[in-house]
Amino acid sequence: MTGRHIVLALLILMTSVAAQWSALLSLPMSGGTIPTLGSVSSSGLRLWVDSSETATLGLAPRVRFWFDKSGEARHLTALTSGVAPYATAVSGRAQLIFEDNGLALAQPIPLNSMTAFFVMRGGSDTGYHPLLGKTDRATGLVVDAKRLRAINGGGSILSGIIGSINTNAILMIRMNSAGTDYASINGGTEYSFSYSSSDSATHVGVIYSSAAMRYLRASLSEVVIWDRALTATERTSVIRALGTKWGITVP
């Protein structure tokens, strides 16, 4: 290969890489607004990662980065320990498969006030599935045998049986700093619990538990978190938008 051909090949490579990332990263500046989900206001939107947008994933070939499109720059990065998640599609639906690993948040997310949606699929309904957590103390949110376990400094509270995650499911969690907390699957019955913590989650898919880390063994397709209480109308709108997008039956 001549020097001219080498330069040309490098130019094509650089242009291709730039095209892959520039559209997404320039969106908040060029568009002026953040895209909405179900026409719900982006006010208070603190994290939004979506595996169906392949340009938001840094692959080599496993996931190194998962870029946040909320405008808050809470980009996720793979942990150095364990096996990094990998991106794939099951029945045409994009997802990140976690095999005993998690992702670090660029900025923490307070646990005591949020409305969060996780589009996920577990290998089974048994086991321990960390969603949001800390790696230096046993604090965070975990799906445990069809229940939501809210853990604060090692003490835990279990909601009622929220439902199965062994098929594609939309898990909704509402954490109210001065009121009752709720969790539901696919827009169904909301089970109440009471959780109080001043801590913030630092990781997705991992939590410190007892004397060791516990990691996620499931898949995540999309995660959306607001730091405010969405109204019933807003929650329904988001759940229906996610249901349509990911082929999940909701009310």
Mean pLDDT by 10 residues, the chain (251 residues): 43 36 37 75 96 93 95 94 89 91 95 96 93 95 95 93 95 91 96 93 94 92 96 96 96 93
Q: What is the pLDDT of residue 9?
A: 42
Cβ–Cβ < 8 Å for 74, 114:
no
Q: Which amino acid is at 224?
A: V
Q: What is the pLDDT of residue 33?
A: 58
37-246 is classed in which CATH architecture?
Sandwich (2.60)
Q: What is the pLDDT of residue 83?
A: 86
Q: What is the pLDDT of residue 117?
A: 98
Sequence spans of domains, the chain: 37-246
